Structure 1
Amino acid sequence: MSDGMVKILNGNTFVVSDVRGDIEASPSDPTGLFSFDTRFLSKWVLTVNGDRLMSLSADDLQYYEARFFLVPGVGSVYVNATLSVIRQRSVGNGFHEEVAILNHDDAPVDLTVRIEADSDFADLFEVKDTLQKKGSYARQAGEGSLLLKYRRDTYERSTAISSSEPCSFDEDGLTFSITIGPHETWTTGLDVAIEMLGQQIGEPEQEIEGAPRSLADQVKRPIPDMARNLAGWLDEAPQLECDWETLLGTYRRSLIDLAALRFSPMTAGSHSLPAAGLPWFMTMFGRDSIFTSLQALPFTSELAATTLRELGLRQGTRIDDFRDEDPGRILHEMRYGEMTAFEERPHSPYFGTADATPLYVVLLDEYERWTGDRELVLELEYEARAALHWIDAYADLQGNGYISYRRRNAETGLENQCWKDSWDSISYRDGTLPGFPRATCELQGYAYDAKVRGARLAREVWNDPDYAAELEKQAADLKRRFNHDFWVADGEYFAIALDADGRQVDSLTSNNGHLLWSGIVDESKAKTVAAHLLGDRLFTGWGIRTLAEGESRYNPIGYHNGTIWPFDNSFIAWGLRRYGFKDEAAVVAAGILEASRYFDGRLPEAFGGYPRSMTKYPVQYPTACSPQAWSTGAPLLFLRTMLGLEPLGDHLVVDPALPTSIGRLELLDIPGRWGLIDAFGRGRVDTSRVTGPR
């Protein structure tokens, strides 16, 4: 792994270890066995005769499974190792590990094999912020297992460790005293099982579907057949054939990573939605889950359906300043750990995002357009209407008809409640930061799109033409005002925001592309906006920067101030396509997809915004999540955009505009209300000016 860590995951559970397979977590280190925001194992160190092992290689066989090849020895020099060790680990409800020790010598060998084990049961927020625990620990070593426990009032977490081979358990781990004959192999199976007791705030009291009732059951519970599950997932996805090997590899990697990031909330049973990313964000995020579901809709609709139901289930119902909650508001983030349970963090759920609520309506409409599933639209009519009501009744903080945000929880709430949510992402040309409330431009685009789409649903599904007409009237008024108030006349682009005084926050940003996607841009302004997006200040050849070169806060490795985000570019390309800029959309897609081959097909959360003429390879951003859901979904949306896939009633329109580098492309068995349809195209858009040779 590029960061020296090996990560394997399975839905709600993941393990991060070093290349030896060992876990030795420091207080702020995101290594360990995690599930539902708790670290259930913070130490897992294998020694042979008291010595640590040396890594030969580490293979991530699948997203849920890894294999480690090791030998005794320290440093970089060892001669004629007569022992080798293979660890194979699979994540399930905890993890299962097979340890095999091979004796390559002609003589038998006596060994003491030791696993040091411990758990700090840290909340993920405690790991990030290096905070101290407030509960008590207990250890119980028996003949057949080691039980690690944590308790704080009624909140309990437990980890149980067992072995298939005889061993001696103590409070710090387990020890095997073994003899391996000449050219023989010794193996043992190790099981680490987890249990959560104590009801989580914000979750209904119900048993998790399929969850065992005790730790004893969990220890004996087999790992699910993940190989069959993954094979089924890949078989059900549309099949891609094309001449460009890079795209084939990236497409497969995206499908596998999307499978890996499937997260099942406690109320969803076996259904799943996209978690945001590993390691910090393996949970439900309103914005991230919605964007990823939109990207994946032409390939799988299950994620969108679960996202809509689960976000609707937790939709805001009251005014709650601690959680930034309003009636109708869609959550930002849901957490299940100790700090949330004791209201030391507001994430049960936390609602501090201004974009998830209109985007919820956008996803509901897009889902119906693809699937024809009117039952879900009827089922979620109340939630959609409440979301639309929130836009006008609660989000207009300044009384000017625009969505704006200002956190009400000053201690733990987010300052910027848009997708560019770092503290310095919204700035004037001169680099100064505006006060609050802030009305960022893309929020208005999302609101416009939500009203237009809500009107369609009201007219065609909810049988409420009067409501549809009112939403259309509101959308037209919003579009007219927006194109006047946000337009920077001396630069001919849209300001990133309006400040508390209604003054334009006038830096040039990638947000303009989201405006094209939403449809709020006047046709007369679209060509100039597209020219900015593909101009040298924003477009690098690899992709479109978040902030234009020349702006005071521009930094090619600034989180939201000059880096390139694949997710951002995928929606920009969709927006370009919406306004008829098919070739420009293909150029953006080609740049990002070219970059993907330097990341082994796995696009990171973000990468450096340096000009392509300056870098042979895209520059890695050091703390980017990987895998990350909406980066995983970006190649899928690029495929939709390049092929021009657009639902039209019970038909699917195909209008390809592909880069020449792709050559021939076939996407077979695209699912939707039409059944299964194939799409074909041939690369005819010359992007060599910006993307260079393959």
Structure 2
Amino acid sequence: MLKDRAPIEKAASLAGDIANAVVVKDGDLCFVCDPDGTVPLDGPHGFGLYYRDCRYLNGYEFELAGARPLCLVATAEDGYMAIFQLTNPECRTEQARIDRETIGIKWERLLDGTTPALHERLAFQNFGVDPVDLPVSIVFRAAFEDVFDVREPKPAGAGTRRPPRWRNGVLCFHYEGRDEIHRSLSVHCEPQPDVEDEAGATFYLRLAPQERREILLSLVVKESPDRCETEPHRYHQPNRGQMQARLRAASDAWLAREARLLSDSLVVNRVMEQSQRALHVLQSRLQDQSYFAAGVPWYVALFGRDSLITALQTLAYDPDIAAQTLRLLARHQGRREDRWREEEPGKILHELRTGEKARLGEIPHAPYYGTIDATLLFLILIGRHAAWTGRLDLFKELRSNIDAALAWMTDYGDVNGDGYLEYRRTSEQGLENQAWKDSKDAIVNVDGSLATPPIAPVEVQAYAYEAMTGMAELFRRAGERDRAERLSLDAADLRTRFNRDFWLDDKGCYALALQAGGKPAAVVSSNAGHVLWCGIADEAKARRVAECLMGESMFSGWGIRTLSADERRYNPMGYHLGTVWPHDNSLIAAGFRRYGYGQAAAQIFSGLLEAALRFDDHQLPELFCGFSRREYPVPVRYPVACHPQAWAAASIPYLIETILGLAPEAFENRLRIARPVLPEFVTFVELHGVRVGQAKVDLRFERSNGSITVCPLKIEGPLDLVIET
């Protein structure tokens, strides 16, 4: 029965261009729209109102006297709220002509994930000298599509959609899913429309000169096994001012908990604040634990790899969400062998979905375990969390999960028994590639052909090394010296073999992967930088890798490409074949720092920071195209990149930690600061509220006489500073 199911790829064949989309999110509710605030009624696209893997609203347009308004500006910098300023083109009513730019329209959009509901305020003001009779028509479309059908449009079975209907002044859309879940979208209007259309409404506004009138809309989402629970009930328009204040207070409280940055660069301050606000927006909850959802709109869900890396990137700012993410993933750790879901005992999940297709078992994502690296990143995060907190509590709490993860590495991770961790898909609808570059054409050979499974990615072996060394340290601190010694010996053996088998001496870089028969995928890729991040590289090889990755064929001027421009399969617009990924660059920069190449790390930081300036709201997307900065003076957008996206949003905070050289040694009540660097355009940086063990510290880094001085501004609790210059 399963053989006819096509694989689901996390790839570029998604519906429509959302590169310029305006995105708002609160909790599990998110809205993605065109820059003019609307959602197209026609054609496949990724815009709409999403909730728990269902796109409720897939069309939302309005007209003034039969004409589309013109957008003047749009912003969603707060994450939970968007503001649009629109005006009218020249248009005619039955009574008169309305000159262009006579009507000002301020459109405020607030998302409330607790209700959940989308709240709209459209304020129309007549800036003309004559009164205006203005017909405003609004049309909605609700298809209740599973997010997987939005990403990969194709014929699919569907539940029962009832025709839209008006009842007691409320426009109602209802869907009875094949998963026996009822979903509804109800549109509440104030004032009541003058005309109730089949799937929309028309309001006739008479505006005297300078007069301002408002239309308030609330789009309320409901889902329940009980149909009665999804029927619209009496609804009072909320106090939008109070709601905005509550959402702002929650965002500000999030920032207050985080370590805070201040510098003399308005650019650094701005991008950093937007990064942290984006992370607040992406924070989600599941089973009373917080985690970072991977990205909007496609990946508003728990992802093993993405959520773990984002938590790791933000440890210096708030280690608490890392602990919650680890607990949540531990609850869903693999316990049995299941080829359909690619589950194995001890394995950490790739992706957990809750939509109709997942509930019906039509996709294996409830949860799906097709990832080779999430289990290793789970162990790495435990180790690095302990380095920041100086506590073994979490290690002891998750001890059985740690043992299971380590056992998975030896019992299941090595598919062909060659001593390396590799993957081969077992699920008909699983991912062909199961490391972070998981599109189907990501792992390539020099001649352009695709690598042959089983595939052992280069960075995965580095993660295994870091996982073993990190766990060895914690076992040693827990008094289990024999276990620690075995892990240390296994890690040392892996390092020796790895530097022999993956090294490409003619290219001065590590191979992208080993494939069937131990043959290397002998191309230059960004994955080699992760090798430095984990410390498995020999010193001499690390130097050559750094030189290779910062060379012209890899460094675009904005960041390091995923694949060298010299390779046959290079494509600056290919999802993993030449694009620039901020998170990838942040890990590479940390690897450069680990081996003493601080200036190269600062160069990556500067490139990504300047790229962020060119994106809306100074927010780095999931990825952008790999065209050279010399060729284009702005970074070229990737059409379906998620934004905000978790590990992209966390990249600037992690890069700042990296260039400042922060190295926690919390078990010793110590923070080591190793050879900090600052970009040339920054004179000073202050970090306030950095937690190391039981202490907090405020630090100032300042350029003086060609060197960087470090000054502790405030220390609360036991902490020694060791400053290496």
Report the TM-score, using the length of structure 2 for normalisation: 0.86
User: Which of 393, 396, 421 is 1:375 aligned to?
Assistant: 393
Within 2, Cα distance between the matches of 1:508 and 1:549? 9
Within 2, Cα distance between the matches of 1:467 and 1:186? 72
In terms of mean alpha carbon deviation, does 307-316 or 442-451 score higher? Answer: 307-316
User: Which of 115, 136, 141 is 2:166 aligned to?
Assistant: 141
User: Is the Cα contact below 8 Å between 2:664 and 2:670 reproduced in 1?
Assistant: yes
**1:605-644 C-alpha deviation (Å, 9 max, x unpaired):** 2233344444433333333222221111111111111111
**1:343-377 C-alpha deviation (Å, 9 max, x unpaired):** 11111111111111100010111112212353332
The yes-or-no answer on 1:437 pairing with 2:437 is no
User: Which of 178, 181, 189 is 1:155 aligned to?
Assistant: 181
Q: Name stretches of at least 5 consecutive residues in structure 1 with no aligned partner.
A: 200-211, 688-694
**Compared CA separation, residues 219 and 578, structure 1 to 2 (3 A):** farther
Within 1, Cα distance between the matches of 2:602 and 2:525? 20
Code of the residue aligned with 1:607 in structure 2: it is F
The yes-or-no answer on 1:288 pairing with 2:306 is yes
Match of 1:84 in 2: 104
Match of 2:145 in 1: 122
Within 2, Cα distance between the matches of 1:309 and 1:69? 44
Within 2, Cα distance between the matches of 1:555 and 1:311? 35
User: Which of 174, 181, 199 is 1:172 aligned to?
Assistant: 199
Match of 2:374 in 1: 356
Shift of 1:170: 5.6
The yes-or-no answer on 1:609 pairing with 2:626 is yes
Match of 1:667 in 2: 687
Code of the residue aligned with 1:60 in structure 2: it is A
**1:288-340 C-alpha deviation (Å, 9 max, x unpaired):** 11111111111122331221122111111111111111111111112121111
Code of the residue aligned with 2:382 in structure 1: it is L
User: Is the Cα contact below 8 Å between 2:513 and 2:521 reproduced in 1?
Assistant: yes
**Compared CA separation, residues 136 and 581, structure 1 to 2 (3 A):** same
Match of 2:30 in 1: 14
Shift of 1:19: 3.3
Code of the residue aligned with 2:153 in structure 1: it is T
Match of 1:654 in 2: 673
In terms of mean alpha carbon deviation, does 593-602 or 545-554 score higher? Answer: 593-602
In terms of mean alpha carbon deviation, does 511-520 or 296-305 score higher? Answer: 296-305
Code of the residue aligned with 2:702 in structure 1: it is R
SS in 2 for 1:507: coil
Within 2, Cα distance between the matches of 1:218 and 1:422? 45
**1:137-193 C-alpha deviation (Å, 9 max, x unpaired):** 124421142221101341221112212323465652334455445543322321111
User: Is the Cα contact below 8 Å between 2:144 and 2:175 reproduced in 1?
Assistant: yes
**Compared CA separation, residues 512 and 66, structure 1 to 2 (3 A):** same
SS in 1 for 2:518: coil
The yes-or-no answer on 1:197 pairing with 2:224 is yes
Match of 2:279 in 1: 258
The yes-or-no answer on 1:245 pairing with 2:266 is yes
SS in 2 for 1:62: coil
Within 2, Cα distance between the matches of 1:533 and 1:637? 19
**Compared CA separation, residues 477 and 75, structure 1 to 2 (3 A):** farther
Within 2, Cα distance between the matches of 1:553 and 1:686? 43
Code of the residue aligned with 1:142 in structure 2: it is R
Within 2, Cα distance between the matches of 1:274 and 1:685? 41
Shift of 1:219: 6.5
**1:449-464 aligned within 5 A:** 449-461=466-478, 463-464=479-480
In terms of mean alpha carbon deviation, does 280-289 or 238-247 score higher? Answer: 238-247
Match of 1:562 in 2: 578
SS in 2 for 1:661: coil
Shift of 1:61: 5.3
**1:676-687 aligned within 5 A:** 676-683=696-703
In terms of mean alpha carbon deviation, does 416-425 or 82-91 score higher? Answer: 82-91
Within 1, Cα distance between the matches of 2:544 and 2:34? 49
Match of 1:102 in 2: 125
Within 1, Cα distance between the matches of 2:440 and 2:75? 38
Shift of 1:43: 2.5
Shift of 1:261: 1.5
SS in 2 for 1:658: coil
Within 2, Cα distance between the matches of 1:163 and 1:302? 41
**1:580-608 C-alpha deviation (Å, 9 max, x unpaired):** 22233223323322333233532222233
User: Which of 506, 512, 521 is 1:505 aligned to?
Assistant: 521
**Compared CA separation, residues 686 and 444, structure 1 to 2 (3 A):** farther
User: Is the Cα contact below 8 Å between 2:98 and 2:132 reproduced in 1?
Assistant: no
Shift of 1:553: 1.5
User: Is the Cα contact below 8 Å between 1:660 and 1:686 reproduced in 2?
Assistant: no
**1:459-502 C-alpha deviation (Å, 9 max, x unpaired):** 324x4333222222221221122122212233342211111101
SS in 1 for 2:145: coil
**1:46-92 C-alpha deviation (Å, 9 max, x unpaired):** 33455443333333352111222333436999726544333211011
**Compared CA separation, residues 301 and 382, structure 1 to 2 (3 A):** same
User: Is the Cα contact below 8 Å between 1:142 and 1:169 reproduced in 2?
Assistant: no
User: Is the Cα contact below 8 Å between 1:8 and 1:14 reproduced in 2?
Assistant: yes
**1:563-578 aligned within 5 A:** 563-578=579-594
Within 1, Cα distance between the matches of 2:213 and 2:628? 54
Shift of 1:125: 0.9
Within 1, Cα distance between the matches of 2:470 and 2:487? 9
Using CA pairs under 8 Å that are at least 6 residues apart, name the structure with larger relative contact order, 1 or 2.
2
**1:423-502 aligned within 5 A:** 423-461=440-478, 463-502=479-518
User: Is the Cα contact below 8 Å between 2:188 and 2:235 reproduced in 1?
Assistant: no
User: Which of 30, 39, 61 is 1:23 aligned to?
Assistant: 39
Within 2, Cα distance between the matches of 1:334 and 1:41? 23
User: Which of 396, 403, 415 is 1:397 aligned to?
Assistant: 415
Code of the residue aligned with 1:653 in structure 2: it is R
Q: Name stretches of at least 5 consecutive residues in structure 2 with no aligned partner.
A: 1-16, 708-725
User: Is the Cα contact below 8 Å between 2:91 and 2:99 reproduced in 1?
Assistant: no
Shift of 1:7: 1.8
User: Is the Cα contact below 8 Å between 2:423 and 2:434 reproduced in 1?
Assistant: yes
In terms of mean alpha carbon deviation, does 532-541 or 170-179 score higher? Answer: 170-179
User: Is the Cα contact below 8 Å between 1:660 and 1:685 reproduced in 2?
Assistant: no
Within 2, Cα distance between the matches of 1:121 and 1:494? 46
Shift of 1:259: 1.3
The yes-or-no answer on 1:540 pairing with 2:561 is no
Match of 2:722 in 1: none
Match of 1:202 in 2: none
Within 1, Cα distance between the matches of 2:320 and 2:499? 36
**1:114-151 C-alpha deviation (Å, 9 max, x unpaired):** 33223100111111222345211124421142221101
User: Is the Cα contact below 8 Å between 1:324 and 1:350 reproduced in 2?
Assistant: yes
Identity %: 37
Within 1, Cα distance between the matches of 2:426 and 2:705? 49
